[in-house]
Every structure is written in C-alpha cells, then in structure tokens.
Structure 1
C-alpha cells in the first residue's frame, strides 16, 4: 500500500521537526558527556579522599601509639592492687554465702517437718469427713424413699378425684345446652312482637321530630332578623367611637410635632458639646493607640524571649546527649583497658610481679594523680563512689536472683507432689434417685369421654 502524498506545507513541517530532533539529540549527547565527566571527577575525588584518609589514620596511630603504650604500662602495674582487693572481697562474700546456705538448709528442714505434720492432720480430717458424708447420704436416701411413697399415694387420689369431676362436668354441660336451646326459641317469639311495637313507636317519634324541625327553622329565621338589627346598632356605636379616635390621633400628631422640634434643638446642643469635647476624645484615642502598640511590642518581645529560651533548651539537650555519648565511649574504653589488663595479668610471670615500677611510669602516675587532684577531684570521688555502690547493688541483685530461682523450683516440686496426692484420693459416687412422676393432661382426659 503506497503512502499518501504530502503537501508542501507538511513537507516543510516534517523537515523542520527532523532538524529539531537532531538538535535535541546533539544537546542530549553533550549533556551526557558532561555527566560522564562529572562522574569520573567524583570517583577520582572519592579515591583521593580515601587515600588521604588512610594516610591521616596512619599518622594518628604513629602519634597515639606511644601514649597508649605508656597508659597500658601504667594500668598493667596498678591493676594488681585492684585484683587483690577484689579477691579479698570475693573471699568475704563466699564466707557469707556459706553461712546463708547453712541457715537456709536449717529453715528448709523445719519447713519439711511442718509440711509432714500438716499432711497427717489433713489425712485424719479427710477420714472423718468421709465417715460423716456416708452417714448423711444414707439418711437422705431413707428420707427420699419415704417422701416418694407419700407423693405417689397423693397423686393417685388426686387423679381419681379429677376423673369423677370431669364426668360430672360433662353431664352438667349437656343439661345446660338443652335448657339454653328452649330459652332461645321462646325469646325469638318475644323478639318479633317487640320489633312490631318498636316500629310503631319509631313512626310516631319521626312524625314528632319532623314537626319540631319545622318549628326550629321558623324560630331561626326570626332570630336571624333580630341579630341583624343588633349588628346595625353596634355599627352606629363603633362609628361614633371611630370619630372620637380620629380627633385623639390629630391631637397626638400635634404633640409629636412639638417633640420633634425639641429633639432637633437637643441634637444641635449635642453637636456643640461634641465640638467642645473633641480634643479630650482625641487624647483618649491616642492613649488607647499607644497602649495597644506597647502591648503588641511586649507580646513580640515575649515571643522572642520564648524562642531564645527554646533554642537554649535545645542546645542544652544537645550538650547533654553529647556528654552521654562521651561517657559511653569512656565506659567502652575502660572496658577494653580492663580486658587488656586481664590478658596482661595472665601473661605476667612470677618474676615480673615482684619488679618495682619504672621511673617513667612513676613520673607519669604522679603527674596523672596530681592533675586529677587539682582539676577533677570531685568528679573522681563521685565516680569511685558510684562504681562501688553499683558493684554492691549488683552482687545483692545476683544473690537474690539465685535464691528466687531456687525457691520457685521448690514451690513447683511441692505443687506437683500435692496434685499427685489429690489425684490418688477416691470418693464413693452418689447414686441418682430421679423418679418420673406421671402428669395428667386435662384435654386428653376430656377426649376419652365422647360428647352425647
């Protein structure tokens, strides 16, 4: 299928569109070249940044390693004292734990004796309750049998009595139906005689009512004429009253005119007073404007102060967060130092334990403690007290946790033994003495005796 021929205008538009597409492709290619160049520059910048960062870290390590080595030597020679103190505290705590275990075993034996006594009393009490229960069940069974026999006798007597009553009621009902039929036929004859008499009476009453209606109509016409005459008299009276009211309205209009003149005079006086007191009003308005402006300025100042306080609070919170992070980093650093010291302590020989401190380490320790005593003595005391209290609290918490776990296990063992003992107990089953009582349906009994 051949494509349709294009007009010259369409050909020019198509060529123009092709040129625009070429320009767009060229611009897009230039932009892509720029993007590639920038990505290469960014990658090269990242590589240079990483290279210089590695060099900077190596330089920092070279500077910091000697100081860290001195700190480790100082900690290594001073950690022995701390370990000796800890060993002494641990020995004291072990003695206390031994005494506590002896006391606990004594209490546990007393508890077991008490539980044995309780179990014996519980068994004796169960035997007594079992004997009482059996005797009570026997008495209830005898009483129930006696009551059941008496109830059967009573129900039989009542059933016989109801049967006789139903038979007598059926006989009385047949007799009553026969009497009602005879009365109905006699009343029907009387009703026909009464209807004839009633028709004659109604005829006389209707004639009398027709005469009364004619008389009422005549009376209503006379009454209507009389009412018209009364309305004419009332119209004359109202006309006289309207004339007097018109005169009164004219007098009131004159009085209103006088009051209007007085009001105009008073309005003129008010304008004069307003001109005289205008300056005072302007002063009051200026004062009001001044107070309004001062109120706005004070409100703006308060908002600025509130914003400044909020900024200070935010800065304070940031400082607190930085402080907490710094303390956490110091804590982690201390933990690493303790681990390294423990490792060094394990690798230390007997000969190295009795060697004196080096002179460089002693001078460094003297400078360090002198610096702490001069600048950070209160902080150091608080930190020492805090870690002492923390260690005591943690030891007490660990002891209580172990004792709680042991008591929970003992409690579970006691519960299991008690449940097993209760499961082994047996009780006699109570027999079910349900006896069905015959019910008498009245409708069913009536159907047995057919109607005559």
Structure 2
C-alpha cells in the first residue's frame, strides 16, 4: 500500500485516473473469468446430476417394473386358476348335458324303431286283409259274371228269333204296300193326264174368243175417245187461254203470299223463340240466384261448422299438448330418477364387488337343490309356450334368472344377518341386564337396598329372576369362542354414499 500510494503520488491526475481505470478493468476481467469458471463448473455439475438422475430413474423404473410384473403375474395366475376352474365347471356341465342328450337320443331312437316295427306289422296285417277281401270280391265277381253271361245268351237268342220273325212279317207288309201304292199311282197319273188335256183345250178356246171380242171393243172405244177429244178441244180453247192466264197470276200471287207467310212465320218463330229464351233465361237466372243463395247459406253454415270443429280441434290439440308436456316432464323426471337409481345400483354393485369373497367370485350362483327329474320338468315347462298373459309377461324376463338368483342369495344373506343381528342385540341386552344386576349386587347403597337385591340369599336362592342362565351355550360361546369378524353391510355403506 505505501508503494502504491507513493506511486500514485508521483503520478499526475490523468495518469492516476488512467491507472485506476486499468486496474478496475483488470479486476472486472478477473471477476468475469471467475464467474465464467463458476458457471461452467455448475453446468458440468448439473449435467452430471441429470445423468445420475436419469440413470437412477431408469434403475428405479426397471426395479418397479419387475415388482409390478411379479404382482401382475400373481394376479394373472389367480385369474387363470379361477378361469380354469370356471371353464372346467362349464365343461363338466356341458358334458353332463351332452350325456343326457345322448341318452335321450338313444331312447328316442329305440322308441322310433319300436314304433316303426309296430307300424310295419300293422301295415302288413292291413295288406293281408285287403288281399283276402280282394280275392273274395274277385270270386263273387266271377260268379255273378257267369250268371249274367248265361242270362245274356238266353235273352239274346230270344231277341234274335223274335227279330227275325218281325223282319219277315215287315218285309211281307212292305211288299204288299208297295204293290198297292204302285197301282194307285198309275191310276192317279192317268186321271191327271186326261183332266189336264181337257182343261188345256177348253182354256185355249175361251182365250181366243175373248181376244177377238176385246179387240173389237177397244177399237170402238178408241174412235169414241178421239171424237170426244176433238169436240172438247174446240169448245174449251178460249177458256183454256183465260185459265192459263189466271193460273199464271194465281201462281204468282201464291208465290208472293207464300213468301209473306214465310216471313211472318219466321218473325213469329223469332218472337216465340225470343220469348221462350227470355223466359228460360229468367227461370235460369232465378234458379241460379236461388241456387247461389242456397250455396251461400250452406257455405256459411259449413264455414261455421268448420270453424266450430277447428276451435274444438284447437282445444283438443291444446289439451293434448298440455297433457303431452306434463307426461313428457313426468317421463323425464321418471327417467332421471331411474338413471339415478341405476347409477346408485352400479355404485352399490361396485362396492359389493369389492367385498365379495373368492368363492363368490368363482361361484357367483348358488347350486340348485332340485333333482335331475325336477330340473327336466322345469326345463320342459319353460320350453312350453305360455297360455296366459301373466305367464307370457314372465316368460319375457327369463333371461334375468341369474340376476334374481344373485339377488335372492344376497337377500337371504341379508335376512340371515338381520336375524343374527337381532339375536346378538337380544343377547347384548341380556348381558347388559346381567352386568347391571351384577354391579348392583356388588355395590351397596340406599337405592339398591330398596330394590330387589341378589345379595339377599335365602335357602341358596336369590330373589332375582335370571333371564339368561350362566350356562347358556350362546353366552359361553361368546365368552370362550374365537373372535368374530366384523362385517360392514352394503346397505349401511349405501346410506352414507354422497348423493
């Protein structure tokens, strides 16, 4: 320090400032080097710690995996043992079922063979009876056929003889009739020819005479007609001319009259048609107006009716909507309640599963106490179709049989525990009474002496009525027996579950 102070004293102010600045920079650099070295040392140490941590963590994980593998292998072995026992039990059950089915099959085959043999015997017997009957019918048929053939031959010979006789008689009659007919035919032909010739000659003569007479008459009449015609033409020529003129005028006036009449007829027809049209139009308009009024009234009535129906439907739909809303709300509440109940049942099932024993896990269903015949009767009854409604409803819930088995088992256990609890409670009360009596007996005070006291013994008898004797086996069992296990009921746990 004296050297430095002497050295600083020799320096000027600027040199001193520069020297101090250099010294400060050197110290700063040394401090930075120390910090860098410390940082590097800490980083190296941190890396080493991280490596050691990773190594230790891997080591711990490896050891923990080994422990977990061992525990899991034990659990898996237990599960495999349980599953193997269950599988063996199921296999035994299936084998028993297969044996019973094979036995039933053999019995059914025997019954079938016996029925087939009896059926074949019956068929053979029926065939023999049918053959005998056919033979008998064949013999009867042959006898009757021979009798009929003989009768037919005799009757045929008789008919042939009679036919030959009748044919000979008929031929004789036909020959006689033909001869008679030929004779009559020849006579009629000759008479007809003679009469025809006579009539023909007579007609020719009369025809010739009439022709001559008629020709003369026609010639005379023609001459008279020509003369009268000439006379008529000469006398009526002037009248004919005037008639022709008047006839022309008449035809002309007739045509004009006819034209006017046609015009009048057309006008009258038009007037009548217009009147009829007007009347028809008036009637149609009245009918249409009347019909429109009726339709309007009917439409108004129909509208009022539809309006009333629509109001009724609105009211009904509003009531239905209200009812549906209430029912849906009730259904939602009921479903929520059932869902909560189901969740509560599942929680209870999980809790009950935790307290199940190994035997209950392996054999969840109790063995039946029925015999094989009773079991067969029950199976046959379940396979039969239900005849009543209640039976049909119960038949739908046969799949819940295992559930009801477990439920009944749990219920029986609960009832047994309740009974045991009641017995123990009664024993506890009796023991409390005995203890109180004993304590009252060993203590002396005015209250105890004023009551019945077991210390007062007369003739080796106390005036206390002992409810439970000391030699009661239940009391002795409680006193000397092994300690009982404390069992917590699932119902007690369920009551304290958070809702």
Normalising by the smaller structure, the TM-score range is 0.3 to 0.5
Which is bigger in relative contact order (C-alpha 8 A, separation at least 6)?
1
Highest Rg: 1 or 2?
2
TM-score by length of 2: 0.29
